[in-house]
Structure formats: C-alpha cells, structure tokens
C-alpha cells in the first residue's frame, strides 16, 4: 500500500470494528478528502459516520471534543496542517486539558489528522511542519509516521488511545517516489514508495522508536520524510550510523536515543520544520542531559530555514541529503572516516 492507502485502510478497519468511530472534516465525505485518504468511506459507512464540515477548523475540533467526551471516537481531519491555527485553542484549552480539569470524569479520545510538510510546491500556506506547537502541550500525544506500515499501525493505536492524539502525515510520502532533489538521487526512498501492509488489524505502540539502520559512528535522529533523507545521506559513504525513526514524538522513546548515543558518542538531529524552537531543540537538550559524558562532538541540527516556507526555493529550504551529510561529517571531524565521506559529497545548494 501507499501511505494514503494504509491510512484509509486503518480508518476502514477501525470503523468496521468500532461503531463509535466517526470521520469528518472539509471534503472528507463525498469527495474523499483532498488527498483521497477517506475515499469510499462515506459510501461504505454512510453520511452519519463520514461527513463533510464547513470551512471552520475551530468548529471541527470543538465538535470532536464534544463527541469524544460523550463516548464517540472521532477522527477529525484538518485539510492541511497550515490550517490548524483557528482550531488550536480548542486543541490546547479543551482537548488536552479535559482529563485533568475534570479529575478524570471526562476524557477526549480523539485523533486530529493533518498532512504536513513540503514537497508539493504549496508555498507558505500548504507546507508547514508545526509539530513543535503540539509537543509543547501537556495532555497531547504527537505522531508522525515515515512509511505505510507504520502509518496504519500507529493510526489504529491513536484511534484506540484514551487521550487526544495529533497525527501528522508527511504529504511527500503519500503517493510514493518523489523527485526534485538536486543534490543526490534518493534511491533509498525509492525502495519505499509502497510498503507491505497487512489488511488485518494490527497496532504499533505509541512511544516506541524504530532503529532503521545500525552503526557505530554516529546517531541520526529523524522522523517522517527525514528518515528517508538520512538513509540517502549515508548512501555511497563509509559512515556507519544508527538511524532512529522516532515515529512518536510524544511520548518519546528516550531510552532508544540514550542507548544509541551512548554507543556512538555523536548525534545529528534532522527535521523539516524551522530551526529555532523546533522539536530538534528539545531532542538536543535531552541528549545533552542524558548522554553528556558520552558525547565526543557537539550535537548537530539539520532543519528548515527560519523563514516562511519559500515556494521558489523549496528544494534549498528542504534539508536534503548533502546538507545532512555535511553535518554528519562535522561531528566526525578529524577522523579518516570524515575525510572519506566529505570526498563523496557533491556540494549541492544546501549549506
């Protein structure tokens, strides 16, 4: 399945298993969603369980909170992550706090799905990665899968979770291989346009990272699209790296990060969102706090620019393999290994 198909299958699976599951958002019903993630579900389950809403993100989230507090399992889609801000108050002030402010009398078992990131030349208002705005909020869980198998298993776990979950879907990973990288072909990604996804029910525990590549020289921490960029950055080099796919940002699998960094002594963190106060800053702080005496080099962060997402310079803004490889070389500076890796970098536009 592609990631779109895996997400649709996860929703289909849970709607068939649990009559409390309902799906709604802008164009998710009759049209099947702008990215077709809910295509065919209204026809299968009816307009009372899969329905369209007005263009009103605050209303969408508010309805989801009310439904969840009275026993339903709503899946609310925000058409693009860039549109979530009118609904942010409902997420933070109501959904995230409901369990605590009611002393457990009410909960909000709801999922807010939203496509995030660039890659479709959507410019400033269709390309943002605002995950750090949600990882900061106590009471929320935040998820971002990197492949179809994880997308289905994590979404099912999110739907079953007793608390609100923010579920980010990197739109660059929706349909398969992509091009546009000017610094290196992403042959590592091209192995993952689709993934083997069981049609039956399964779930992946929230808060468990996956080690997608194993090595001794450096730890690369990433999530979403940047997992594949990290694998591409290692191609053709003699760098031996642990690549950790976080999968869930909150709760965070800190034990997996500690074990890896204490082994390698070096750490590079990569994400598409802006640098300042991005989630990578929290990761860097945690690595410093828990692994300080094991570190042999400063922690590096490779991220998007501190600007609104630029349409014309999208491929320069996006942290590509060449920029990531340069950061890896910096943490390996002074070794023969770094010299060998640097010789293979082809420059690229990303600095």
pLDDT of amino acid 243: 98
Give the class (CATH, top level) of 210-344: alpha beta
> How does DSSP assign 230-262, residue by residue?
HHHHHTTS---EEEEE-SEEES--HHHHHHHHH
Q: Helix, strand or coil for residue 196?
A: coil
Which residues have a Cβ under 8 Å from the Cβ of 107 and sit 6 or more positions away?
Answer: 68, 69, 98, 99, 162, 163
Per-residue pLDDT tens for 72-87? 999 999 999 999 999 9
Which residues have a Cβ under 8 Å from the Cβ of 119 and sit 6 or more positions away?
Answer: 127, 170, 171, 172, 178, 180, 225, 314, 318
pLDDT of amino acid 194: 64
Q: Helix, strand or coil for residue 11?
A: helix
Side-chain-side CA neighbours of 160 within 13 Å: the count stands at 17
d(CA 176, CA 318): 18
Which residues have a Cβ under 8 Å from the Cβ of 34 and sit 6 or more positions away?
Answer: 26, 27, 79
Is 126 noted as a catalytic residue in this protein? yes
Contact 50, 23 (CB under 8 A): yes
Q: Output the CA torsion sign for 331, 336, 341, 344.
A: positive
Q: Residue ranges of the domains in the chain?
A: 3-181, 210-344
Instruction: With CA atoms as reference, report the closest residue to 37 among 57, 12, 14, 54.
Output: 12
List the catalytic residue out of 100, 126, 182, 311.
126
Q: What is the CATH number of domain 3-181?
A: 3.40.50.970
Contact 128, 99 (CB under 8 A): no
Tell the residue number behind the tokens 């034990």, with chain if given: 255
Print pLDDT tens along the chain (351 aa).
Answer: 999 999 999 999 999 999 999 999 999 999 999 999 999 999 999 999 999 999 999 999 999 999 999 999 999 999 999 999 999 999 999 999 999 999 999 999 999 999 999 877 777 888 899 999 999 999 999 999 999 999 999 999 999 999 999 999 999 899 864 443 434 444 444 444 567 899 999 999 999 999 999 999 999 999 999 999 999 899 889 999 999 999 999 999 999 999 999 999 999 999 999 999 999 999 999 999 999 999 999 999 999 989 887 777 777 788 989 899 999 999 998 443 444 444 333 333 333
Equal CATH topology for 3-181 and 210-344: yes
pLDDT of amino acid 258: 98
pLDDT of amino acid 186: 46
């Amino acid at each position: 399945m592609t990631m779109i198909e895996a997400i649709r299958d996860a929703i289909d699976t849970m709607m068939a298993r649990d009559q409390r599951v309902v799906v709604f958002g802008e164009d998710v019903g009759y049209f099947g969603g702008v990215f077709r993630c809910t295509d065919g579900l209204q026809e299968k389950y009816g307009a009372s369980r899969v329905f369209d809403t007005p263009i009103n993100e605050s209303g969408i989230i508010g309805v989801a909170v009310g439904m969840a507090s009275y026993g339903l399992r709503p899946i609310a889609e925000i058409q693009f992550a860039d549109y979530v801000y009118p609904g942010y108050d409902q997420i933070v002030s109501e959904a995230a706090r409901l369990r605590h402010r009611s002393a457990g009398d009410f909960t909000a078992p709801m999922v807010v799905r939203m496509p995030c990131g660039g890659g479709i030349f959507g410019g400033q208002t269709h390309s943002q990665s605002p995950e750090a705005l949600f990882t900061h909020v106590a009471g929320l869980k935040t998820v971002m899968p990197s492949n179809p198998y994880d997308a289905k298993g994590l979404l099912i776990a999110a739907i079953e979770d007793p608390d609100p979950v923010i579920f980010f879907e990197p739109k660059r990973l929706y349909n398969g291989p992509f091009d546009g990288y000017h610094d290196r072909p992403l042959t590592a990604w091209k192995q993952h346009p689709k993934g083997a996804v069981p049609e039956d029910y399964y779930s992946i525990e929230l808060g468990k990272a996956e080690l997608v590549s194993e090595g001794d020289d450096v730890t690369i921490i990433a999530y979403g699209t940047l997992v594949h960029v990290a694998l591409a950055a290692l191609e053709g080099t003699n760098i031996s790296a642990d690549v950790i796919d976080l999968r869930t940002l909150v709760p965070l699998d800190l034990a997996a990060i500690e074990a890896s960094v204490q082994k390698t002594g070096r750490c590079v963190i990569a994400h598409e969102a802006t640098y300042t106060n991005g989630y990578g800053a929290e990761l860097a702080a945690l690595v410093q706090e828990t692994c300080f005496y094991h570190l042999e080099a400063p922690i590096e962060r490779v991220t998007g620019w501190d600007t609104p997402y630029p349409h014309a310079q999208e491929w320069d803004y996006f942290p590509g393999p060449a920029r990531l490889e340069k950061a890896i070389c910096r943490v390996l500076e002074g070794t023969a290994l770094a010299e060998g890796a640097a010789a293979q970098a082809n420059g690229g536009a990303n600095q």
